[in-house]
């Protein structure tokens, strides 16, 4: 049986010409406008207990283009506009399936600037990418090669808050194949003092990327606060300086997590983690900043999709499992264990490092579940591991 090829996005920086930047900026604005118009139409229909489908919003787009006030929608490629409607349809599907909140309107200042092109709206030949409505190819910095013979199925162009331009090419990558099976498993306990503690006893330091740049970030934010409100040039420049600091933090954090997750997946057949609800944990005002900087949710997401790519297994143990308070030697459950207690001694005489003990207990629980199939909650939606999420009744569409 032929193995299914993995679709993978390759992201690159590029420098647009003035004409290309203007065309892309117009496209971003039109994509945002169409998305918001369609969302408003579907929201009004929702209030009337009526259903609006993707095909109906596509027909609305045709009508909007014929009006005088929205005639400028004809100036950009129609493909990104249609893709915006498809993205809205996906957002509603997630909402009705109780996987996401109700879709929100896109903001000119805060929302991500992006446009997606399908094969009919771009040309990729001899390593050169040309988008619809453009005469010249994009000046892309090919920081790594695409898979040999790769042909992009979609191209997404975006600009981040720091003003950097990116192009993402979705291709089938034949180099992503399951790794040879090995007989190793590891329990992983995440934390703040140490980012990861493994059941092997290894502890991975927390780089605290945000803390390292906190002074620089504070200076940029103070300068932004002193500028006048509105969309003046000085305020726009100050806002971009803040965004550049955040981008530096995010890039370093993502690079570190990619290296960690790749190493864990390559070295272990089974990886057991704890099913943490990070969105609830960041409501703690004292720890929210540190938890966000640790990026536990990103770590789990990377671990899951890489495990799926390479034929590994990720098991998520129920968040209520007392991994820290349970003696990994004799199984005795301790009554209370405050967070400031980092080592403790069991009645059996075993002295535990809190985090290493938790990692060992997670590993034991995960392996037991993989055999007996109970006691853990599954991965969220990735096909690369155990699946034990609570089933939710989908919302009924009007």
Active site residues: 189, 274, 355
How far is 168 from 206, CA to CA, in rounded Å?
30
**Contact 160/3 with Cβ under 8 angstroms?**
no
How far is 226 from 219, CA to CA, in rounded Å?
11
Strand partners, 353: 343
And the tokens for 75?
């100036």
Q: What is the CA radius of gyration of the chain?
A: 25
Name the one residue in this structure whose structure tokens are 């390559």.
Answer: 266
- Spell out the residues 6+ positions from residue 273 whose beta carbon is closer than 8 angstroms to its own: 187, 188, 190, 300, 303, 314, 315, 316, 317, 362
**Residues 257, 258, 261, 266: is their CA dihedral positive or negative?**
negative
**Contact 365/322 with Cβ under 8 angstroms?**
no
And the tokens for 353?
């490092």
And the tokens for 291?
């938890």
Q: Helical H runs in the chain? A: 18-47, 54-66, 78-96, 209-212, 214-226, 233-267, 278-281, 288-294, 296-309, 354-372
């Amino acid at each position: 049986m032929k193995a299914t090829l993995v679709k993978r996005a390759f992201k690159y920086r590029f420098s647009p010409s003035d004409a290309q930047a203007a065309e892309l900026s117009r496209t971003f604005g039109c994509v945002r406008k169409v998305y918001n118009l369609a969302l408003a139409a579907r929201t009004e229909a929702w209030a009337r207990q009526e259903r609006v489908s993707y095909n109906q919003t596509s027909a609305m787009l045709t009508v909007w283009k014929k009006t005088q006030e929205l005639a400028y929608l004809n100036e950009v490629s129609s493909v990104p506009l249609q893709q915006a409607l498809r993205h809205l349809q996906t957002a509603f599907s997630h909402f009705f399936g109780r996987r996401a909140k109700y879709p929100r309107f896109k903001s000119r200042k805060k929302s991500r600037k992006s446009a997606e092109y399908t094969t009919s709206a771009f040309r990729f030949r001899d390593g050169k990418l040309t988008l619809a409505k453009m005469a010249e190819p994009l000046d892309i910095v090919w920081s790594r090669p695409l898979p040999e013979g790769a042909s992009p199925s979609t191209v997404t162009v975006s600009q981040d808050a720091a003003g950097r331009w990116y192009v993402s090419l979705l291709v089938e990558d034949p180099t992503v194949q399951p790794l040879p099976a090995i007989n190793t498993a590891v329990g992983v306990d995440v934390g703040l003092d140490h980012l990861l503690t493994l059941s092997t006893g290894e502890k991975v330091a927390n780089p605290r990327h945000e803390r390292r740049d906190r002074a620089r970030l504070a200076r940029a934010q103070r300068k932004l606060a002193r500028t006048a409100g509105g969309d003046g040039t000085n305020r726009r420049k100050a806002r971009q300086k803040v965004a550049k600091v955040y981008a530096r933090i995010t890039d370093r954090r993502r690079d570190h997590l990619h290296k960690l997750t790749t190493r864990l997946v390559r070295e272990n057949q089974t990886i057991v983690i704890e099913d943490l609800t990070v969105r609830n944990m960041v409501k703690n005002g004292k720890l929210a900043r540190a938890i966000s900087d640790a990026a536990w949710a990103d770590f789990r997401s990377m671990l899951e999709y890489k495990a799926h790519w390479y034929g590994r297994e990720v098991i998520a143990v129920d968040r209520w499992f007392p991994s820290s308070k349970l003696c990994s030697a004799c199984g005795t459950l301790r009554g209370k264990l405050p967070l400031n207690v980092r080592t403790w001694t069991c009645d059996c005489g075993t002295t535990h490092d809190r985090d290493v003990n938790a990692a060992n207990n997670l590993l034991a629980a995960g392996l037991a579940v993989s055999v007996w199939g109970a006691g853990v909650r599954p991965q969220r939606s990735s096909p690369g591991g155990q699946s034990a999420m609570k089933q939710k009744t989908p919302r009924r569409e009007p």
